[in-house]
Amino acid sequence: MGIEIERKFLLCDESWRPSGDGVLYRQGYLSVDAGRSVRIRIAGERSTLTIKGKSRGMTRHEFEYEIPRRDAIHMLDRLCLKPLIEKKRYRIEVAGLCWEVDEFFGVNAGLVLAEVELEHPDQEIPLPAWIGEEVTDDPRYYNASLVKQPFSTW
């Protein structure tokens, strides 16, 4: 059984921005309710189906499976709730941890979030200088929530 443990933060400045390119993501949701979400994602050349359970603080169950690209495109275009999530993800190594910074586009343009996955909930992490307010417990910042209430409507 997969468990995801992550913390999520806003950014306080642009000093995080790497010189290299990130990976384009296009994702949508087949289901978004209080107890679970079912996501279809195309990230670069990889296409996945992901099932996530209800968040309990910074932890939740997560299961991810590769699927054929043509199936992912079909589901994103015809079955997923709209709007789709469009973003570019940058991976930044800091003090042995991989930070994922998502820069959103479309109806969520202007939103930039950083996430870090942890091995256990009590794990101490050094925060990079570009990290701002923690929003781990604010459901508005969940990607599944951004489908129902995009950042541009806040």
* pLDDT recorded at residue 134: 97
Give pLDDT tens digits for 103-135. 999 999 999 999 999 999 999 999 999 999 999
CA atoms within 13 A on the CB side of 113: 22
- C-alpha dihedral sign at 101, 76, 39, 72: negative
* pLDDT recorded at residue 142: 93
Mean pLDDT of the chain: 95
pTM for the full model? Answer: 0.92
Give pLDDT tens digits for 61-82. 999 999 999 999 999 999 999 9
123 vs 101: CA distance, rounded Å: 20
Q: What pLDDT band is residue 1 in, cutting at 50, 70 and 90?
A: low
Structural domain range at position 109 = 3-153
Residue appearing with tokens 């409507």: 153
Catalytic residues, by residue number, are 29
Domain count, the chain: 1
Q: Name the token pair of 145.
A: 């929530």
145: domain CATH number is 2.40.320.10
